Structure 1
């Protein structure tokens, strides 16, 4: 051990003994405080809900699809899609989300049978809803 290092240890021991006894002299130095860094909360995942105003309708009769948009800015466009075969096809029915995070659109369907519909926009896709056209 070099001489300067021994003097430093001896000085620390002497100061510790003078200040409060052997326990203080041999105690490990307190760790330096760690600065905490605030991490931003993760953004809420955007969510769309959808519901039809009717369960069954005649061909080309008008009904409404409405719902709520959570985590999506007002003014964002949402589009109605219909499942045709294995693909989801966008229909010419689109509206913007209002300041209350809601939307409502008028729809007419001509494909007879049970139609699967969903709403998409703002990075979200609603669960499918079903309307039967007779």
Structure 2
């Protein structure tokens, strides 16, 4: 009888332990304090300037757009964008910003009339420059 009592007691104890572990595994997760998170570094504000070498030029005559950038790394590509109707279209004219942040590139346009142009690169755009094509 002593042996039977021990087997029953062991069975009850094992059922109690299994039941307790199942209950804790189904319980809501314990909230732990979050590890302190350092804020992401704020990148410096990047800017682009643009200036055309002329105010007006004949169709397909070459002119320059040059300017400077701040906050862009050397080698960042900047491209000419032209406003066509209500959309800005990137033209196949780009140049890399040099280590001092300057750039200059040659442009030829054929759309007669006032052309609104800007430079774009590195997630920033320059102010609009207007060149009239005669």
Residue correspondence of structure 1 range 75-86 to structure 2 within 5 A: 75-86=75-86
SS at match of 2:64: strand
Gaps of 5+ in 2: 1-37
Whole-angstrom CA distance in 2 between matches of 1:84 and 1:42: 34
The aligned counterpart of 2:99 is 99
Could you tell me the TM-score, scaled by structure 2's length? 0.69
Deviation, 1:41, is 6.9
- Aligned residue pairs total 97
Gaps of 5+ in 1: 1-37
The aligned counterpart of 1:3 is none
Deviation, 1:107, is 0.1
The aligned counterpart of 1:67 is 67
Whole-angstrom CA distance in 2 between matches of 1:103 and 1:89: 20
Deviation, 1:44, is 1.6
Whole-angstrom CA distance in 2 between matches of 1:88 and 1:40: 32
Whole-angstrom CA distance in 1 between matches of 2:64 and 2:83: 18
SS at match of 1:80: strand
Moved over 4 A (4+): 38-41
Whole-angstrom CA distance in 2 between matches of 1:95 and 1:77: 5
Deviation, 1:42, is 3.3
Measured against aligned partners, the alpha-carbon deviations of 1:3-53 in whole angstroms (never above 9, x if no partner) come to xxxxxxxxxxxxxxxxxxxxxxxxxxxxxxxxxxx9787332110000000
The aligned counterpart of 1:53 is 53
Deviation, 1:98, is 0.5
Query: What RMSD, in angstroms, separates the aligned Cα atoms of the two structures?
Result: 1.5
